[in-house]
Amino acid sequence: MQKLVQIVYISRSTFEKTDAVNKIEPNVVRILAKSRVNNRKNGLVGVLYFGDGAFFQCLEGEEEAVNALFSKIEKDTRHKDIKLISKKYISKLSFPDWAMKYAPLDDRMRSFLQEHQYQKFDPYAFPPEATQKILSVLIDAYDPTSDIDAQSPSLSAAVHNTYQTQAISGKLMRLSLILSAVACVLAIYAVCIVHGTL
């Protein structure tokens, strides 16, 4: 039987900040949507906090699955300065009902930051003992996406719009390549006619 493991890592985002969708950064919405689908498939749970350009994420599940996902995260270009700050074996899951809980900046997190005299959320500046305090804040935090998970109009629309935009971009790119190829063939054909080689 596989052992359950919990890891906590921090990273900085590499994407440009854009206007929030339902108070959530659109890149984070995409990460959440994909994480929830993939984590359900792989039996993983966890929580994601994003603030001031920094991620704080806890992942839990069977060790092999957690390690495989963390390896993918380390290669994800949306993150930089990835740092594993905690890894331990656990007897039960802290987030059993959450394929990926999302915790926004709320009063409890603001209190935590004020209590430790931090001006912003910067997990790289937090002492090691802060990890468990942050996790306890996140366990009890309200997830504003809980009512609008993958089937919801808001999150679903945001994700759908993203994928639709990507699909349209892909189609335009293919059309552009086809048109370029046609133009190239026509140019060669015209040169051949001018030089009488056809």
Q: Which helix (H) or strand (E) is 11 found in, with range?
A: strand 4-13
Domain with 166, as residue range(s), is: 151-198
Q: How distant, in Å, are the alpha carbons of 23, 74, 106, 133 from that of 77? A: 23, 8, 28, 29
H or E element, residue 6: strand 4-13
Task: Report which of 23, 73, 25 is spatially closest to residue 46, judged by C-alpha positions.
Answer: 73
Predicted pLDDT of residue 147: 57
CA–CA separation, 87 and 182 (whole Å): 56
- At 63-94, the pLDDT tens digits run 999 999 999 999 999 889 999 999 999 999 98
Sequential pLDDT tens for the chain (198 residues): 578 999 999 999 998 777 666 667 888 888 888 889 999 999 999 999 988 889 999 999 999 999 999 999 999 998 899 999 999 999 999 888 888 998 877 778 888 888 888 888 899 989 888 888 899 888 888 887 765 544 444 444 444 444 444 445 455 555 666 766 666 566 665 655 666 665
- State whether 120 and 158 are in the same domain: no
Kindly state whether residues 25 and 65 are assigned to the same domain.
yes
pLDDT value of residue 88 = 95
Confidence (pTM): 0.70
Choose one of 147, 163, 182: the last residue of a domain.
Answer: 147
User: What pLDDT, on a 0 to 100 scale, did the predictor assign at position 156?
Assistant: 45
Is the same domain home to 10 and 99? yes
Query: 98 and 36: one domain?
Result: yes
What CATH number corresponds to the domain at position 73? 3.30.70.100
Residue 83: per-residue pLDDT: 96
Angle at 85 between CA 82 and CA 88, to 5 degrees: 125
Q: How many structural domains is the chain composed of?
A: 2
Contacting residues for 117 by C-beta, under 8 A, at least 6 apart: none
